[in-house]
Structure 1
Amino acid sequence: MNSRVEVLARVRGAAVGSISGAVSIAAHGIAGAGVPPSEAAVVLLLAVCAAVGAAVAALRVRDRDAVVLLAALTAGQLVGHTTLGLVGDHAHSLGLSAPMIAAHLAAIVVSAGVVHGAERACLRALAAVTRTVLVILTPPPVDAGTWSPIPVYRAKLSLWLLISAAAGTRGPPTLA
């Protein structure tokens, strides 16, 4: 498993767990006429949602598998609903009415969009950090100069002078 898949799995697990808990508290607060759940119910809900998030983070799935994401969000909301329904002191039972099912389905779709956005944001942030670290840690280029063992310019006049000097009338000076 590469690091990108591991990071996406952790982001997905944290998002699914926290969104499941937040939606459960908000939905049961609305259904209970604004009465907040008890502290024991909230603590149990946090433990259950953390377990759901850890289970989702442990799954080996591709980074864009929508079916698994929707199933995880559905399971998280079902577990959260059941936990607060069993422990909480709300007026409704564990049964699901049509408006409640519609609200949960809408929350699942919206939550899937939020999780997908969080995954994309995480990937972009990691890419930016990686590029920044690579720029910072890249050593500066060494200036080796422009010396070359092969001459760039060869004078043709000097060769002509050397060749013509051998055939000339060079000798001792004359006394004339």
Structure 2
Amino acid sequence: MKVYTKTGDKGTTGILGGTRLAKDHDRIEAYGTLDELNANVGLLRDQEGTDAFQAELIQIQEDLFTIGSHLASDPEKNKMTLPAFKVERIEALEAAMDAMDSTLPPLKNFVLPGGHVTISHCHVVRCVCRRAERATITLARTSYVQSDMIRFLNRLSDYFFVLSRKLAHDLRVEETPWTP
């Protein structure tokens, strides 16, 4: 099987259900940004200090594939059974954040990203997650998107912020507060 099909050479791409859309369509932007987020989560998994978070990060990548499969399908024409997105995943993120936060000093200022390459990668992931959330909200204005998926992306960016703080703590990197 060839990877290239040449069907996108004129600026369109096919989605589940057979519909062809312009490559800059809101739907393509949304699931493309989720794909970028997933790749960045994979890069974060490869960084020093993330060993204790491997299972969580892999689960997040699986969640992103689940959400992506829904965004990459025509809600009216797709006949494939897609994996269900479970609201429990939002609760799991909240529990993970609460557990990490319980070991951290109270947050008194905004924190400048940086201090260690792992922490910087975590902040990049957080920012891409916010962009994925915005793109998904844009799509939801014109097409059905399960609201729990948007809630998950919102919570996920918070998760990556708390994870950045936890990694800083574990790696013994001093956080740099923003002092306007």
TM-score, normalising length: structure 1: 0.28
* Structure (1 or 2) with the larger CA radius of gyration: 1
Higher helix share: 1
Higher strand share: 2
